Structure 1
Amino acid sequence: MLLFTLVGGYILTSMIFFKFPTLLHKKKQVKFMCQHISHRGGAGEGYENTMYAFKRAVAIGTEMLELDCHLTKDGEVVVSHDHDLLRSTGTNKSISEVNYKDLPLLKPRLPIDFDPDAEYIGTEKEEDRRFALLKEVFEAFPNIPVNIDIKVNDDELITKVSELIKGYNREEYTVWGNFSDEITRKCYRTNPNVNLLFSMRRVILLIVFLYTGLLPFVPLKETHLEIFLPSIYLRRKGSPSSTFLPLEKILVRTINVLLMRRCLFNHLRARGIHVYFWVLNEEEEFKKAFDLGATGVMTDYPTRLKLFLNNCPAE
């Protein structure tokens, strides 16, 4: 009888604090709210991670720029998704092996990772295919929130990115981290004042906490949850270029069952944690994400998302 009373009391208490988390936790005060996020600046409408793409996305009305960082041989923080140059430029070298001034231009035709078999083929000037520096982005867009993926486990890179964030007074308007828990923990230790992403390990713990009823009682240092909508992987199964395997299908469906819970996203939002879905490129995906309670959506096609939000304003 005592056991039933204790279990019942725990379940009831967990449910109350799950519904009203601010009874236990102070709501995080993130300085920005972004529904429209341009992935790599909008890789489907401009050369990815370039100033051309960033300027175009901001002109369309994006509320956040998502980008990736690496260090060049001479220690410059360059904006690039890949650590090597082969896919983006055709040069079989790592960024860390090349000085910034010697980086080649991006190829005229670039594949779009989250739009299978599509390419961006631009008509821009050659200079618009130049790799951007992180400091250029901060200088050009002082009031636009920036989402930074620290791509490699490099203490110097993390330190230099932190110094740039502080130097441009952007601690409250930047979010950073990586899937890697080690990288994300290093980011937090280096500068705990910058908004923080959940690592993959922390997402798994989030699921464990949710289904054990512990989530309402656990403090969370992160401010932003970025997750993928399972359908973006399921749709790639039939693509000739897809590496989709049966095990991946099981994993994706498991994530769909366990993580795609509006009640979870409502709880996180009540705690001041933003929920972003990546990388969505179709109207039905935008709708699904916002119906689930997403704070924002990350896309390769800023124009499509802008039109959707104009026609179907999210809550």
Structure 2
Amino acid sequence: MSFFSWLANGLGTLIGVVANAVVTTVVDTVRSAYNAFVGSGGAVKDVAAQESRNKQDRLREVNDEIMFLRNRNMSQGGLADGERRRWNSLREERDELLGVLQQAKEVKAAEKILESEAVLEKVEVDLETTHVLQYNAFADTLGKQCRCCGRPMKLQWQRDLNVAGPNDFFWACTGWYVPKGQGRACTHKEPLQRSDYALMTDTSAPEFSVTADEFGIILEDPGTSAIITTRVNDLRSDLTSKNKGVELATCPVHGENMVLRKKSNPTGLLDSYFLVCPRWKPNNQGCPFMEKLKSGSQLAALLKAETGRGIL
């Protein structure tokens, strides 16, 4: 079941909340759906988290075997009938696992919203608050599927902008990252609807106490940039040592948590970091899914989600 009549993410944000909606009414709607899920025997909290970890472990095993058969198919020019049947069976199992894990994401998002009720407020995104929308571009968006192919869609904006305006955002299908022949599996894009600019989110983050322009100026300070770089580098080292990915961002193809990487020769803070599928390899030798962390808001969301404290 779905807990939401709106788009949501693991940061505890709802996207597309109608203008006249009251926070308590929206939260009560989520609470009712959550309680109904619990009443039907659905796993929540620690039990759900453990089940999710078990499914993720199995998903990695399935992906390992799929990749083995894929490489075998490419190197030998085909698979035996038994191998082909096994490949198809594994892909079906992966789809089932992804469905279960998607439900687990919704459970966790609902719990985050219920826990954050006291600090949830409505935000109408305008020229001064576009960084709030960028902040929420970090986590997987739940409930936004491409109408052309059914794949998840990601919130994007023009990459060459230091401070994006409301009209610079759009939804892009993640099929863009999936090679198909000489092209891409899907290139569908959608402009944001008016309702997409209405968020209900935790506004206690210090980053939200300043305007988008002010936040951009803060990031340009060399001292601030150096501190952020140190913190993200420390996080990357910690995740690498634990062989962990980023919790709230997953590869839409393989379903595994994305890995935080750093460019060898970045031109600055906002050109330094990116997320990739654990099966990513250079030159399209593995999964090509990659997401650049091209805004201070995304870095703030990353640090907040993984360490409990954002940039400011």
TM-score by length of 2: 0.25
Choose between structure 1 and 2: higher helix proportion.
Answer: 2
TM-score by length of 1: 0.25
